[in-house]
Amino acid sequence: MNKHLVNLTTNPCKMCMPMGVITAFYGINKCMSILHGSQGCSTYIRRHMATHYNEPVDIASSSLTEHGTVYGGEKNLIAGIENLIKLYNPEVIGVATTCLAETIGEDISHIIKNFYEKHPESTVKLIPVPSGGYMGTQYEGFFRALYGIVTHIEMDQEPNGKVNIITGQLSPADTRYLKALLSAFEIDYILLPDLSDNLDGGHFEKYSRLPKGGTPLQDISKMAGAKATIELSTFTDESYSPGKYLNEKFGVSYIRLDLPVGLRSMDALVKALSKVSGKPVPNTIKEERARYLDAMIDSHKYNAEGRAVVFGEPDFVYAVTRLCSENGIMPVVAATGTKCKGLKETLKKDIQDVADRLFIIEHITFDEADFEMIESYALRYRANLMIGSSDGRRIEEKHGIPLIRCAFPVHDRIGGQRIRMLGYEGGLLLLDTITNVLLMHKEGGFRKELYFKYYKGKNKEQNLKIGEPSPKDSSKIRELSLIIKLPVVREEEKELTLEDKKKTHPCFSCSSAHKYARIHLPIAPKCNISCNYCVRKFDCPNESRPGVTTQVLEPKEALERYIQVKKDVPNLTVVGIAGPGDALANFEKTKETLVLIKAYDKNVTFCLSTNGLMLPLYASELLDLGVSHVTVTINAVDPKIGAEIYKEVRYLGTTYRGEQAAAVLLSNQLAGLKYLADRGLVCKVNIVTLKGINDHHIEEVVKKVKALGASITNIMQMIPVKGSVFENIPLVSHKEIMALREKCGIHLEQMYHCKQCRADAIGLLDKDISMHYAVPEDKKEAELSPKGKTAIRFAVASKSGMLIDEHFGHAKTFYIYEYKDGKSVYIENRDVDKYCRGAEDCEEEQDKIEKIFKTIQDCQGVLAVRIGSSPEKKLIDKGISVFKTYDRIEKAVQEAAQKLL
Amino acid sequence: MSSIEKVLDKYSSKVYKNRKKHILEKTDGDQEIAADVRTVPGVMTNRGCCYAGCKGVVLSPIKDAAVITHGPIGCGFYTWGTRRHKARKDEDTKSFLEYCFSTDMQEADIVFGGEKKLRQAIKETVEIFDPATIVICSTCPVGLIGDDIHAIASEAEKLYGRKVMAFSCEGYKGVSQSGGHHIASNGLIKHVIGTGDRTPKKFAVNILGEYNIGGDGWEITRILKRIGYDIVCSLPGDGSYVEIKSAHVADLNLVQCHRSINYVAEMMKEQYGTAWLKVNFIGIESTIESLRNMAKFFDDPDLTAKTEEIIADEVAAIMDDIGYYKTKLKGKTAALFVGGSRSHHYQKLLNDLGMETILAGYEFGHRDDYEGREVIPTIKQDGDSKNIESIKVEKVPDKYKVFLSEDRYEKLKEEIGLEYYGGMVKEMNNGSVIVDDLNHFETEEFLKMLKPDVFFSGIKDKFVAQKGGTLSRQLHSYDYSGPYAGFNGAVNFARDVTMGIYTPAWGFVKAPWKVEPTLEGQVVGGEV
């Protein structure tokens, strides 16, 4: 979803090239490395490697300062190499560059030449690897270092019958396994590189500062005389593949195999080893394979529930994704941070195969990933496990998706050096881990799930709980910790005035809709949840029509407005707080306003609408304040569905996402609703219908809220908001809404007359006069006069009331705006039909356009998303300018006005 | 040969000459140490770079700031949540501590410039995250290719109606992360402090240079709040841009880490008249001393009484635990090698536990951190220190306020060391070793010779110590433990050190077949 955001990388899923270079050099015997650049690079890489491997990691630095960047860093680099030799006495030194050295154009090959000229006696082999941080990731760096090593070492071409094994970044434990495997075939091998000892050393009485393990140079020099090279990497570019180089330069036969993770890849390696060694597959290996196969069968019955996210280096992602797919675990997201165009195509067949088996339609494979993207897809495709480095821990913490840490770097667990996944044995260990994560999830929650499904206790609703679910375990979502004890009011004590109350409120009774006026006071700007159909900056499109409260009032101003309106509209009976955010997220303001108005007019009916999150906390205060009508928007009564609707919920200082968020919100909504209904409040429940998300679930919602005491539900259409997650979901048609209302009407009374009012609406439901009160009395005259000096009037074709999103000819309503003093101000709505005097005659297209012309004839400009050429010409002929755009209304009106002025 | 000579002996004459000035054995009288100068290339320093000090240390902990690293991906990645500076978010404050934002510059951006990408990245940050403020930190190549991040920042500031700050903290500037602290401090003074208008309550203080590693800051805040202080802001640990804006309304700046934040304290003194006091909340005795000094500053009978009451209460609560750990730790020795103040602060805590420090050094301390602020006038400026911008500030008349009378100020200078820091060396025992910018080789050699029971350092030297058989505790990240500050922190620390020294593992280091003679009476197994 964020693919277009190419400029901001949020939480990277990759590291820089020098990291890979240094790691590869750690697999060479008696080797140290030095980074040519500022010392931070060495320090950072040491810190990251040491934490993962739990071993000393020593990388020297040429410690370039500003002086060096100006005059060149040769002196520093040579001094650095000299000191390194003096203190560590290595046989090989990997000399790698950094962003800094590459940017100032340091030629390290030349500097190395100068070093040898200065020290002709030196026998230390210096191997240069250009590796600016911007030239690629650690994945490329690793193979570039290996390529640098084979190309810089003098080769002995004498045939020696050895076999070259070249690998990517394996864990030391996996490397040891690979070596044992080669020995089992009695293969005389040269392993490049060999990380097994240097990054996983034991504890001995004496510590040697120069790592003793790794492949010696003299072995590497024999690679040119080997009989074959097996390179274990799926995606390494051939332009720097050591195997390819040895093949082209010295004629060593060369095959490329995938990392031997999972059954098929390991089979391929075993076959190749058998062939190259001329030996049958040893029994021990056959037994290992048999055990893995047995394990695959044992665990298959649990694996189909797995929806995995695999992320990391391309070869790792490829290998682990294939392991998942051959075990029937659906890899819903496979992502690498590195540029790797081939990943998607190469994995396509494997992923499709398991998707077909499990009837899973949505999944994705992509490169150049960052964790922001991985996170959004993980949620969208309902992943239940992640496999990769510990960098996924933030997603794990936030959403409770368990993370299996088996790739570099692992920073929050111990044992990064001993990760196992190679071969039948390693594959089995990884598979067991994956299956056990799925089982843990199941064991942790399924009894409760069954209980709720089949064994609901009678008084369950009275034990509604709110609070924080355990962040680690999403299965515990329903077991919410903090219990609010809600005293139950007995039936007979309830005042039997529900019907009376409903009758005087326009929103709660159709008959009163035309008799009683209401005022919505826009005093509540903040919101505490984030809905996917909403963009916060445009206010709440559900509780109010989007973006169209002209100003937010302070409580005192709200009282003034009430007094003013009451004077003009004597049938004003209802005061409502409907946003533009959430009334209870701004409780202090809400409270103050209600107290002020109550003091002025004790006969007023108070109502407010809320998302319900804070209801349990404020419910009793609402009663005390005399609120008699409450509207709660409840779009789902299942956290799974809720998770798709709510992006996040901020509750008591914690931000929840996903199912946790939905669960917290839901329990509070239900607890609050029950509490208020029990105490005789008229409770309306608004349900926003979202096609494909909750449209099948609405009846459930209605039944549930009825059981809790709601007296009416209002099933409504979603208003699409640009920039929101649901911007492009198809709309539910009016017909479908009516059908839903009818269907749900069996259970509970429905509201058929909803107008989805503005947050600052005033008057009768079908006659909003709020604009007359948009400004304080003293300024009103000048502002209201449409013929004001610089006022320009515009007709805006809009469906949503927020965006210019309607074709001129299709508009049934025009939003009339005025531009004055640098501001665009909403004036009124004009229905095209009302302006047409002879409705019966208006069937023809031509007449319709005529009708529109009449509707907007006093405007100087028209804004629409598109307009036919002939109406456009007509408008221009009439002196009305036409602006075709798709934008927020206020903004577009301002821009249009600028053009006219 | 002394231990120092033995270590230096291995160096080439050039390096010997250089390193000798950085190492000394404590004796009576004034001793000068070389510090804050260029690292010798190739000797495996533990120092970081300017970017690390600016972005990684000072700016990252400011929770409501979205920090965009302008540069290739590595530096941003490596500073992503690696320092354990904790922060709380609440309803009104967003926290971006779990995020890493980077422009991820590619080769083409280096060739053609990265300004366009940065502009776009800022735009996206505003649109998606809507942070209170945006901070841009540059890495090495940016300074070289000439992207004007400051111009972009001021342009963005106008465009998006919020503070956007740029920090030119390229890694090659200065000689260590210390330069970065200075650059970050300059920016905070220029752009943030003094722009807020919170009304202070009685006893208003700022906590400067406390990074809330493992929750240290929370423990300190807990104690100060119990006494009744109004904490205007904590800079930067668990701090927020919104709070830091009002830092100038405080009566007193508490300076925990002198090295990294004295710049802010000094400049605020110039601009707003805010006095500062060096405090140390690491260690029981030093926490008590700091609290008493603060009470003296405010000179209010109620506050003083409350201070004593809380001290008595807190100490009583931890006495039993500390008493027990003391029996386990008394007489043990320690070596300390950390940043620019912890090597000093923790000596106090070790003293509380009956332990002695036999070696200590700073990674990036300056001479005044070793020898005291009195040497500042004698510190020679070199090319490297001149490369770090030092800004001149002036009195801000409408926000300038003086809390103390002139007499009282002079008196307190004497009495509580107001606006003074005496450095580490004075408080160390004769014969102990002090090493500036200790490197891998020296670490190993000194540990072998001095054989401390514990080596307190960071992750990079941790495993060297452990492989050599010396217990290591990390004082940068606390090995995922903490807090170590204040009264409760002292108990945590004592427990962690005891646990480490008495772990059964050390008892198994020597394999039985190595200590028991075999039938032939030979020791076999050999060295590996």
Both structure tokens of B405: 């009378």
The pTM of this model reads 0.71
User: Minimal Cα distance from B49: which residue of A?
Assistant: A40
Per-residue H/E/C for B418-481: ECCCCCCHHHCCCCCEEECCCCHHHHHHHHHHHCCCEEEECHHHHHHHHHCCCEEEECCCHHHC
Return residues 95-134 of B near A (CB < 8 Å). Answer: 98-107, 109-110, 117-118, 120-121, 123-125, 128, 130
pLDDT score, position B159: 96
Residues B250, B255, B257, B262, CA torsion sign: positive
Q: Does the pLDDT value for residue A431 go beyond 90?
A: yes
B432-462 per-position pLDDT tens digit? 999 999 999 999 999 999 999 999 999 998 9
Both structure tokens of A514: 């035309």
Note whether B45 contacts A5, CB cutoff 8 Å: no
| Angle value at C-alpha A558, between A557 and A563, nearest 5 degrees | 95
Is B181 an annotated catalytic residue?
yes
Alpha carbon distance A272, A716 (integer Å): 64
Is B83 an annotated catalytic residue?
yes
First CA to last CA distance, chain B: 29
DSSP per-residue string spanning B72-141:
-HHHHHHTSS-S-B----BTTB---TT--EE----HHHHHH-SHHHHHHHHHHHHHHH--SEEEEEE-HH
Q: Could you tell me the strand order of the sheet in which B230-236 lies? A: B230-236, B204-210, B252-255, B275-278
pLDDT score, position B268: 97
Alpha carbon distance A317, A364 (integer Å): 13
Across the A/B interface, how many CB contacts are shorter than 8 Å?
A: 261
Answer yes or no: are the C-beta atoms of B172 and A38 closer than 8 Å: yes
Alpha carbon distance A4, A682 (integer Å): 47
Of B185, B205, B235, B200, nearest to B63 (Cα)?
A: B235
Q: A681-690, B137-146, B422-431: which has the minimum mean pLDDT?
A: A681-690
Answer yes or no: are the C-beta atoms of A866 and A884 closer than 8 Å: yes
What is the rounded average pLDDT of the residues A363-390?
Answer: 94
Q: Chain-wide mean pLDDT for chain B?
A: 93
Q: Does the pLDDT value for residue A126 go beyond 50?
A: yes
Question: Which residue did the predictor score with more confidence, A771 or B111?
Answer: B111
Q: Does the pLDDT value for residue A769 go beyond 80?
A: no
Count of C-beta atoms within a 10 Å radius of residue B401: 13
Question: Which residue did the predictor score with more confidence, A475 or B116?
Answer: B116
Domains of chain A, CATH where assigned: 17-257 (3.40.50.1980), 284-443 (3.40.50.1980), 497-762 (3.20.20.70), 785-900 (3.30.420.130)
Three-state DSSP state, A752? coil
Q: Does the pLDDT value for residue A220 go beyond 90?
A: yes
pLDDT score, position B116: 94
Answer yes or no: are the C-beta atoms of A663 and A474 closer than 8 Å: no
What is the rounded average pLDDT of the residues A332-360?
Answer: 94
Three-state DSSP state, B253? strand
Taking contacts as CB-CB distances below 8 angstroms, the residues of chain B near A11 are: 80, 99-100
pLDDT score, position B96: 94
Alpha carbon distance B442, B447 (integer Å): 8
Please indicate if any CB of chain A lies within 8 Å of the CB of B179: no
Q: A interface mutation test: which of B77, B109, B110 has the most A CBs within 10 A?
A: B77
Instruction: Tokens 């993370």: give the residue.
Output: A403
pLDDT score, position A774: 47
Q: B interface mutation test: which of A11, A36, A43 has the most B CBs within 10 A?
A: A43
Q: What DSSP element (H or E) covers A97?
A: strand A92-97
Return the C-alpha torsion angle A819, A825, A829, A832, nearest 10: 20
Please indicate if any CB of chain B lies within 8 Å of the CB of A170: no
Of A118, A54, A6, nearest to A413 (Cα)?
A: A54
What is the rounded average pLDDT of the residues A602-616?
Answer: 84
Please indicate if any CB of chain B lies within 8 Å of the CB of A453: no
What is the rounded average pLDDT of the residues B213-218?
Answer: 95
Question: Which residue did the predictor score with more confidence, B510 or B209?
Answer: B209
Phi then psi dihedrals of residue A368, to 5 deg:
50, 45
Phi then psi dihedrals of residue A23, to 5 deg:
-60, -45
Q: ω before B236 within 30° of 0 (cis)?
A: yes
Q: What DSSP element (H or E) covers B14?
A: helix B13-20
Q: What percent of chain B has pLDDT over 90?
A: 86
Answer yes or no: are the C-beta atoms of A512 and A500 closer than 8 Å: no
Is B248 an annotated catalytic residue?
no
Q: Does the pLDDT value for residue A461 go beyond 70?
A: no
Alpha carbon distance A678, A335 (integer Å): 51
ipTM of the complex: 0.93
Alpha carbon distance A10, A511 (integer Å): 54
Return residues 405-464 of B near A (CB < 8 Å). Answer: 440-441, 444, 458-464
Based on the number of CB atoms within 10 Å of its own CB, is A557 exposed (0-12), middle (13-18) or buried (19 or more)?
Answer: middle
Q: Does the pLDDT value for residue A536 go beyond 70?
A: no
Alpha carbon distance B137, B147 (integer Å): 12
What is the rounded average pLDDT of the residues A34-51?
Answer: 95
pLDDT score, position A836: 46
User: What class is the B50-171 domain?
Assistant: alpha beta
Q: Which range, A4-18, A215-229, A760-774, has the best average confidence (pLDDT)?
A: A215-229
Of B507, B357, B377, nearest to B433 (Cα)?
A: B357
Q: Which range, A347-361, A594-608, A716-730, has the best average confidence (pLDDT)?
A: A347-361
Please indicate if any CB of chain B lies within 8 Å of the CB of A124: no
pLDDT score, position B345: 97
Who among B41, B125, B440 is closest to A80 (CB)?
B41
Q: Does the pLDDT value for residue A491 go beyond 50?
A: no
Per-residue H/E/C for B386-398: HCCCCCCCCCCHH
Note whether B73 contacts A137, CB cutoff 8 Å: yes
Q: What percent of chain A has pLDDT over 70?
A: 84
Of B269, B213, B262, B228, nearest to B396 (Cα)?
A: B269
What is the rounded average pLDDT of the residues B343-353?
Answer: 97
Q: A interface mutation test: which of B36, B37, B44 has the most A CBs within 10 A?
A: B44
Note whether B101 contacts A655, CB cutoff 8 Å: no
Q: Does the pLDDT value for residue A786 go beyond 70?
A: no
Per-residue H/E/C for B147-191: CCHHHHHHHHHHHHCCEEEEECCCCCCCCCCHHHHHHHHHHHHHH
pLDDT-based confidence at residue A845 (cuts at 50, 70, 90): low
Identify the bridge partners of residue A167 per DSSP, sorted by sequence position. A232
Q: Does the pLDDT value for residue A74 go beyond 60?
A: yes
Return residues 487-546 of A near B (CB < 8 Å). Answer: 528, 537
Side chain identity at residue A664, one-letter code: V
pLDDT score, position A767: 52
Residues A203, A204, A207, A210, CA torsion sign: negative
pLDDT score, position A761: 57
Taking contacts as CB-CB distances below 8 angstroms, the residues of chain A near B139 are: 99
B74-112 per-position pLDDT tens digit? 999 999 988 889 998 877 788 999 999 999 999 999 999
Alpha carbon distance A741, A217 (integer Å): 79
pLDDT-based confidence at residue B515 (cuts at 50, 70, 90): low
Count of C-beta atoms within a 10 Å radius of residue A499: 11
Identify the bridge partners of residue A232 per DSSP, sorted by sequence position. A167, A257
Three-state DSSP state, A165? strand
CA distances from A314 to A304, A379, A758, B82 (A): 24, 22, 51, 25
Taking contacts as CB-CB distances below 8 angstroms, the residues of chain B near A58 are: 44, 440
Please indicate if any CB of chain A lies within 8 Å of the CB of B515: no
Annotated catalytic residue: which of B22, B35, B49, B66? B49
For residue B482, the number of C-alpha atoms closer than 13 Å in the C-beta half-sphere is: 24
Q: Does the pLDDT value for residue B467 go beyond 70?
A: yes
DSSP per-residue string spanning A289-353:
HHHHHHHHHHHHHHHTT-EEEEEESHHHHHHHHHHHHHTT-EEEEEEESS--THHHHHHHHHHHH
Side chain identity at residue B479, one-letter code: D
Q: Does the pLDDT value for residue B415 go beyond 80?
A: yes
Q: Does the pLDDT value for residue A644 go beyond 80?
A: yes
Taking contacts as CB-CB distances below 8 angstroms, the residues of chain B near A202 are: 528
pLDDT-based confidence at residue A339 (cuts at 50, 70, 90): very high
Q: A140-149, A515-524, B136-145: which has the minimum mean pLDDT?
A: A515-524
Note whether A12 contacts B144, CB cutoff 8 Å: no
Q: Does the pLDDT value for residue A484 go beyond 80?
A: no
Instruction: Tokens 């509490």: give the residue.
Output: A675
B248-276 per-position pLDDT tens digit? 999 999 999 999 999 999 999 999 999 99
Return residues 5-34 of B near A (CB < 8 Å). Answer: 10-12, 15
What is the rounded average pLDDT of the residues A295-304?
Answer: 94
Note whether B173 contacts A11, CB cutoff 8 Å: no
Q: Does the pLDDT value for residue A387 go beyond 60?
A: yes
A108-117 per-position pLDDT tens digit? 999 999 999 9
What is the rounded average pLDDT of the residues A343-369?
Answer: 94
Is B49 an annotated catalytic residue?
yes
Of B270, B274, B423, nearest to B340 (Cα)?
A: B423
